[in-house]
Copies of this chain bind each other. A is one copy, B any other.
């Protein structure tokens, strides 16, 4: 029989248990505030804290009988381990790896996730968590897998991936599955894998939002151009979904439909882009709105300015340093924000919750589709 300390709450627990009426309610009603510790459980089970610890961590070396007994008590009292004490005692530090595209000179989009990573780590570094970020090039074919291998070599406890190159990322996810390393995606997703979660935007819906805005901008009798710049390089489905969503809006919309045109440009060169745009606009002079499916919208903005086409409404994606000046000047009417900072931040926090705190994490964390215009820009930067 356990030695009963003269602590009120323990007596309460104990009474409940010797009665055989092992009821959570009755305990909780007795002392709702006091936190249950393994010491309490040990006392109630008539064993030592070491034994309780072994049961909780499935470390074996405990007879089935006492194991069940301890588990029963644990569940009944709804024991929650003290995260502070736990991480303090276990000096093991959890190491995360983040794999994402490098910031190329063509667009600064991938700068933003870096500060999200920093923010997340600052918040959880107390818990002994570190992160190492690995950058791949979306332009070099084998870059992703090379870089990913480096990350793997360090045997991290969890990996956050921006799977911009789908096939390679898919391959890598399988390797992670084999090696039982948990991983999460951000920015773009690959369906049907074992990712802990995906943090990002619903890309179809974001296209719909773009269309809605375009609709508000434009009068009744005009045409719209949807521009994709170098979309095949990137996470195709992501970009294509935006286009698809945009088109869908106008298909389902009752009332005056607008005519849509589509243009694919596979170049980052302003000259190439200008001539393509010039040609299209010449052919279809009724175009009053241009929707660009990714962050390369600033190319089109430059074109509009240089050709003095102020009557054209321009909508695109992402608050990159290239795009922002054109939003401020009004050349770009709206930018749809993907919340790149929150994406990486939430991704790491999700890994932390799952791996360290062992909490459940939703399979998809869909971030808001922010509508950004000149007037509310300052609060999103």
Contact = CB atoms under 8 A, between A and B. Distances in A.
Contacts of A237: none
A371 B368 contact: no
B380 A376 contact: no
Contact of A366 (B202, B213, B379): B379
Contacts of A85: 84, 88
B367 A376 contact: no
A367 B379 CA distance: 6
A206 B217 CA distance: 20
A9 B168 CA distance: 42
A25 to B, nearest CB: 22
Q: How large is the interface on A (under 10, 10 to 19, 20 to 34, 35 or more residues)?
A: 20 to 34
A40 to B, nearest CB: 15
Contact of A205 (B206, B369, B371, B375): B375
A264 interface: no
Given A84-B84, A88-B84, A88-B88, A371 B367 contact: no
Instruction: State the oligomeric state as a number of copies.
Output: 2
Given A83-B126, A217-B216, A209 B376 contact: yes
A333 B371 CA distance: 14
A278 interface: no
A48 interface: no
* 9 nearest A-B residue pairs (beta carbon): A368-B379, A371-B371, A369-B376, A84-B84, A209-B375, A212-B375, A209-B376, A208-B375, A84-B88
Interface of A: 82-85, 87-88, 126-127, 202, 205-206, 208-209, 212-213, 216-217, 219, 249, 333, 366-376, 378-380
22 contacts: A82-B88, A84-B85, A84-B87, A84-B126, A84-B127, A88-B88, A202-B379, A205-B378, A206-B376, A209-B373, A209-B376, A213-B216, A216-B217, A249-B375, A367-B379, A368-B370, A368-B379, A370-B371, A370-B376, A371-B372, A371-B373, A371-B376
Given A205-B376, A209-B376, A213-B216, 7 more contacts: A82-B126, A84-B85, A84-B126, A84-B127, A205-B378, A370-B370, A371-B371
